[in-house]
């Protein structure tokens, strides 16, 4: 410990509480909580855009070539642009900013017990670059030829040449937006990792760090270590698009498959980059609402690190049939199937945590449990795709689509709702209406299964992805298949219809909700030991830590919780 505590106690005043103009307060703030809210609202806005795209192309699939209300007729080019950007937005501009950036920014300083990120201005810059990336992406919809439609994986040569994609600037703007987003998250990641490593409250040892912080930090490290090759690849692809180099052009000595390696070397760890924060939230929530210590804290940590390391060696399972050496598929099949072990262990640990607990089904808990229950489906269906022999049939069918939505929907949507409903009182100092949220929960979860369960069946029947009209394929346009598509679309419509319920509750409660006390859930972690919402500087004085984050129901205490900073 370099500093003295006396120094810290005074340091707090140095922040000052001078009046700031609204621009400085809302747009130029370096306060981690404000930056978190900026990320959150931007992510929610873009989430609405991604959901709108899903609505349009699901309508086209259910009712082919009929004008979609609120959009119009969907052409092949429109369809490709919609699915491409739906995927890209949901992963890069919703899951990452909300799960990692918004919650990371909000939670890390509060959970490790300090007043801000270590580099507040870098943090602000990171959000601004992210905002620019979103604007560049938005711009790509309004250029000549329309938005990029080469799938979120952006495989060349289709993405490299305008004569193939029939869009000139769209692919370049899309790529530039993605690259900018990476830069934003590299800056953010450095901040998260450094803050968690260096700015912990006195007394907080490695195993006293709440799982949510660990998970966001490990996710940031995974991101930093995996994104580099894709950044290099993006530069190369951009030169192919606009300067005329031939990195990925087979006619000129280039190799299109190289891009796939660069992309998936990042793309697979990226799944864990967004998965881990959600797993972290679930750990916080299930311990709080079952009043139990997190079972096997160290096992969770080690399996997380194990999964992270293993995730660098599985990328080619996306390319089994892509023309790589078929012998390589055997190696990647082994590594891929083995990743089931750490993930399964993590699931078991979470479920074992519930054993002997006292479980109350508050809204955040419902979401957290739904995460476990639904993510399990995503996990087991992954085995079909990791097994090379079975993947020959399932590759690029709706089975894949259903599989990764059973992972990404729990991560990005269920995980976000879990986190939002859990930390809402801390973020805004008020409670949301729980009844409304319960109605919203049950309808959303039911409809989610209604959308994606039929897609497993469609995939098993050979339904290929990214085809805008099945009328051209007799085997895929059988009436029972069309019925399933309609069923999925109707489920989506109902799900979308109930989201305004949550949004209304969210924004109403933000200003008019019941006032929240500092620790409404009686939780242990440090963020609950400061006022709701936390003032500038968070703690006064800054806390010291005496124990781990999950000491619930310890024997011999009147309370069933034991805050980390409570000396006795």
Partner 1 sequence: MLEHYMQQGSSFASQIDGLVWMIFLMTTFWFLLVEGILFWLLWRFRARPGHKAVYLDDHAEHAFEVKWIEIPHRVILLCDVAVIIGAITVWSEVKLSAPAPDEVVRVVAQQWAWTFTHAGRDGKLDTADDIVTIDELHVQVGKTYSYELGAKDVLHSFSIPVFRLKQDAIPGRVITGWFKPTIVGEFDVQCAEICGIGHGIMPARLYVETPEAHAAWIANPTHYLAYKF
Partner 2 sequence: MVRPIATTRSASGVPTGRLAVWWVLASEIVIFGGLLGSYLLHRLGHPEWATYASHTNTWAGAFNTFVLLTSSLSAVLAHQAAEQGNGKKAANLLLATCGGALIFLIVKSFEWTAEIQHGYTITANGFWSFYYIAAGLHGLHVIAGAIIMLIVAADARKGKDLQRVELIGIYWHFVDLVWIFLFPLLYIAK
Between residues 26 and 473, which has the closer beta carbon with respect to partner 1? 473
Select the residue interacting with partner 2 from 28, 164, 207, 252 (CB under 8 A): 252
From the list partner 2, partner 1, none, which binds 166 (C-beta under 5 to 8 Å, kind-based)? partner 1
- The least distance separating partner 1 from the CB of residue 178, rounded to whole angstroms, comes to 17
**Residue from 194, 242, 340, 499 that binds partner 1 (CB under 8 A)?**
340
Residue from the set 133, 226, 260, 287 that interacts with partner 2 by CB under 8 A: 226
Using omega within 30 degrees of 0 as the cis cutoff, is the peptide bond preceding 157 cis?
yes
Contacts of 39 (CB under 8 A, 6+ apart): 97, 98, 101, 102, 105, 127, 130
CB of residue 516 vs partner 1: minimum separation in angstroms? 21
Handedness of CA 47, 53, 55, 57 (dihedral sign): negative
First CA to last CA distance, the chain:
23
CB of 357 to partner 1, least distance (A): 5
Contact between 43 and partner 1 per CB under 8 A: no
Radius of gyration, CA atoms only, the chain = 24
Q: Residue 380 and residue 387: Cα distance in Å, rounded?
A: 12
Number of residues that bind partner 2 (CB under 8 A): 56
CA distance 196 to 101: 14
Among 183, 224, 296, 439, binds partner 1 (CB under 8 A): 296
Site for partner 1 in 382-441 (CB under 8 A): 383-384, 386-390, 392-393, 395-397
Q: Which two tokens stand for residue 308?
A: 């992270």
**Single residue of 197, 206, 380, 497 touching partner 1 by CB under 8 A:** 380
Do 556 and 293 contact (CB within 8 A), yes or no?
no
- Token readout for 522 is 């009686």
CA angle, residues 12, 17, 20, in degrees to nearest 5: 140
Secondary structure letter of residue 68 according to DSSP: B
Residues 244-273 that bind partner 1 (CB under 8 A): 250-251, 256-257
Q: Write down the least CB distance from residue 483 to partner 1, Å.
A: 14
Nearest CB to partner 1, comparing residues 212 and 346:
346
Question: Residue 145 binds which one of partner 2, partner 1, none, with CB within 5 to 8 A depending on kind?
Answer: none
CA distance 216 to 366: 22
Given partner 1, partner 2, none, residue 30, with its beta carbon under 5 to 8 Å by kind, binds partner 2
Question: Residue 357 interacts with partner 2 (CB under 8 A)?
Answer: no
Q: Report if residue 498 touches partner 1, rule: CB under 8 A.
A: no
Q: Is 244 in the site for partner 2 (CB under 8 A)?
A: yes
Maximum pairwise Cα distance, the chain: 77
**Residues 539, 458: contact at Cβ < 8 Å?**
no
Interface with partner 1, residue 164, by CB under 8 A: yes
Tell me if residue 371 falls in helix, strand or coil.
helix
Kindly state whether residue 309 participates in binding partner 1, applying the rule CB under 8 A: no
Residue 321 binds which entry of partner 2, partner 1, none, CB below 5-8 Å type-dependent:
partner 1
CA of 286: how far to CAs of 27, 36, 520, in Å? 35, 23, 15
Complex with partner 1: residue 188 or 254, whichever CB lies closer: 254
Beta bridge partners of 515: 430
CB 232 within 8 A of CB 279: no
Q: Which are the contacts of 555, defined by CB distance < 8 A and separation ≥ 6?
A: none
Q: Which of 63, 71, 119, 546 binds partner 2 (CB under 8 A)?
A: 119
Nearer Cβ to partner 2 (38/195): 195
- Contact residues toward partner 2 (CB under 8 A) are 1-3, 8, 11-12, 14-16, 30, 109, 114-121, 186, 189-190, 193-195, 197-200, 204, 224-233, 235-236, 239, 243-247, 252-255, 258, 262, 265, 542
């Amino acid at each position: 410990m370099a500093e003295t505590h006396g120094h810290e106690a005074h340091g707090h005043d140095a922040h000052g509480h001078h009046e700031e103009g609204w621009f400085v307060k809302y747009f130029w703030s370096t306060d981690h909580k404000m930056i978190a809210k900026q990320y959150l609202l931007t992510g929610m806005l873009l989430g609405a855009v991604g959901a709108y795209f899903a609505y349009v192309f699901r309508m086209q699939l259910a009712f082919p070539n009929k004008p979609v209300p609120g959009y119009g007729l969907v052409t092949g080019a429109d369809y490709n642009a919609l699915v491409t950007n739906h995927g890209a937005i949901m992963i890069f501009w919703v899951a990452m900013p909300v799960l990692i950036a918004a919650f990371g920014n909000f939670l890390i300083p509060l959970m490790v017990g300090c007043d801000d990120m270590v580099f507040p201005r870098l943090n602000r810059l990171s959000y601004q670059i992210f905002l620019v990336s979103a604007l560049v992406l938005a711009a790509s919809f309004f250029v000549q030829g329309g938005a990029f439609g080469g799938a979120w994986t952006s495989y060349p040569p289709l993405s490299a040449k305008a004569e193939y994609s029939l869009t000139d600037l769209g692919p370049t703007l899309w790529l530039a937006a993605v690259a900018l987003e990476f830069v934003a998250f590299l800056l953010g990641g450095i901040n998260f990792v450094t803050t968690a490593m260096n700015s912990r409250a006195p007394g907080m040892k490695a195993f006293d760090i709440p799982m949510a912080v660990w998970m966001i930090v490990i996710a940031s490290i995974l991101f930093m270590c995996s994104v580099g090759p894709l950044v290099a690849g993006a530069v190369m692809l951009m030169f192919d698009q606009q300067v005329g180099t031939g990195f990925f052009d087979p006619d000129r000595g280039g190799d299109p498959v190289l891009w796939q390696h660069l992309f998936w070397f990042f793309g697979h760890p990226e799944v864990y980059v967004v998965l881990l924060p959600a797993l972290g939230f679930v750990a916080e929530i299930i311990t709080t609402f079952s009043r139990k210590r997190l079972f096997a804290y160290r096992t969770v940590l080690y399996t997380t690190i194990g999964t992270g390391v293993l995730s660098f060696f599985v990328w080619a399972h996306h390319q089994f049939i892509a023309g790589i050496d078929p012998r390589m598929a055997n190696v990647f099949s082994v590594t891929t199937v083995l990743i089931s072990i750490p993930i399964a262990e993590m699931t078991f640990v979470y479920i074992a945590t519930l054993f002997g607990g006292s479980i109350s089904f508050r809204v955040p808990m419902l979401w957290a449990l739904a995460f476990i229950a639904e993510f399990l489906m995503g996990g087991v269906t992954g085995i079909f795709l990791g097994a090379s022999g079975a993947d020959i049939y399932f590759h690029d069918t709706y089975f894949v689509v259903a599989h990764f939505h059973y992972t990404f929907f729990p991560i990005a949507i269920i995980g976000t709702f879990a986190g939002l409903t859990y930390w809402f009182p801390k973020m805004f100092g008020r409670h949301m209406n729980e009844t409304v949220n319960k109605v919203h929960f049950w309808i959303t979860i039911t409809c989610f299964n209604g959308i994606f369960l039929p897609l497993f069946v469609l995939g098993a029947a050979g339904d290929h992805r990214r085809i805008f009209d099945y009328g051209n394929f007799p085997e895929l346009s059988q009436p029972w298949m069309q019925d399933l598509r309609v069923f999925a679309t109707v489920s989506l419509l109902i799900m979308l219809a109930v989201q305004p319920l949550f949004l209304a509750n969210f924004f109403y409660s933000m200003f008019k909700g019941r006032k929240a006390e500092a620790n409404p859930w009686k939780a242990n972690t440090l963020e609950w030991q400061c006022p709701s919402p936390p003032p500038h500087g968070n703690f006064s004085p800054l806390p010291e830590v005496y124990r781990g984050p999950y000491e619930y129901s310890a024997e011999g205490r009147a309370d069933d919780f034991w805050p980390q900073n409570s000396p006795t």
